[in-house]
Structure 1
C-alpha cells in the first residue's frame, strides 16, 4: 500500500492529498505552566519537575512539559471570538470519511515519536500529512479503506518536536440479506 501505487483507484481530491501537508495551524496560546499543572492534577502526576520551576531547571536544565501534552498545545480553544474555523484536530480523518462516504471510521493504531521537549513559552504548530490509503477491502466490520495520517508538531524555530501516526479504517457496514 504505497501512495504511488497506480493500481489504487483514489477519487479526486483524495489522490492529491497523499504526501501533501494540510491543515497547518499555529497554536493560539503559548506552552504554559498553568496547563501543565491542570493536566498533572487531573491525572495525579506528582513529578516535581512539572510542578516546580526550580526543580525542573535543576533536573532537566529547562522547564519542559510532559511529552503526552504535545498535541494539546495546538488544539483549538473551545471558542474564541477571533477564530471562526471549523477545523477539527484530526480534520484530514474526517475529510477522508466524507470523500469516501464512509459513515464510520476508527483509529486502529497510534504511535508517538518525540524528538525534543516542548518548553514553557514555546509556540507550537501542527500539520497533517496523509501518508497512504489502501484499495477498498472487506473486513469483518464492513467494506472500506485503511489510511495513515501523520501529525507533525514544530516549535517556533521550526524544530520538529514530535510526530503522531494514526492508522485508521473507514468503512460502511455491509447489509446482510
Structure 2
C-alpha cells in the first residue's frame, strides 16, 4: 500500500504582522504550473510582463518562453510542469500592503507600467519573488518553498521596524504625482 503524502505548510505565517501598519501575512496553496511555449506563440497569448485573470485562472508571463499558470493551461502541445511544490504563495493584506512592499523591493511598484500590469518579478531583500495583485490591499507573493520560513521572518522584522511617519526610513521616495497608495 502506498502512503499518501499530504501537503504541509512551509511556514508559520498565519496572521497579523506586529507593527504599526496592521498587515496580515498568510500562506495559501495556489496550484502553479509552468508552461514552456516559444516566445512567438506566447506573444499572442500574453504579452511579456503581463498578467491575465479570467475564468481560466491566472496566467503570469515574466519569462520570455515560460508562462506560469494557476488554473487551466492554454491548449498547446508544449510541456507543462507542476511547480506547486517548489513554490510557496504568501498573501499580504492590509491598507498599506503595496506601499509597504514598495519600500523594500528593488522594483518601483509605483511605476505606471508596473501598476497597470499588476505583476512583477522582483527582489524583496535578498529573496527573489513574484508579486501580483487585483487590489493594492491584497498582494500575492510567490517565493521558493525552501526559503519561505526565512522570508516570513524577514517580513516580520521589516514590519516591526517600519515606521510610516519617519521619512528617513523610506528607501524610495514617492513622487508627488504618485497615485493614492490607499486605493
Taking structure 1 as the reference length, the TM-score comes to: 0.28
The structure that has the greater radius of gyration is 1
TM-score (norm 2): 0.27
Higher relative contact order (CA 8 A, sep 6+): 1
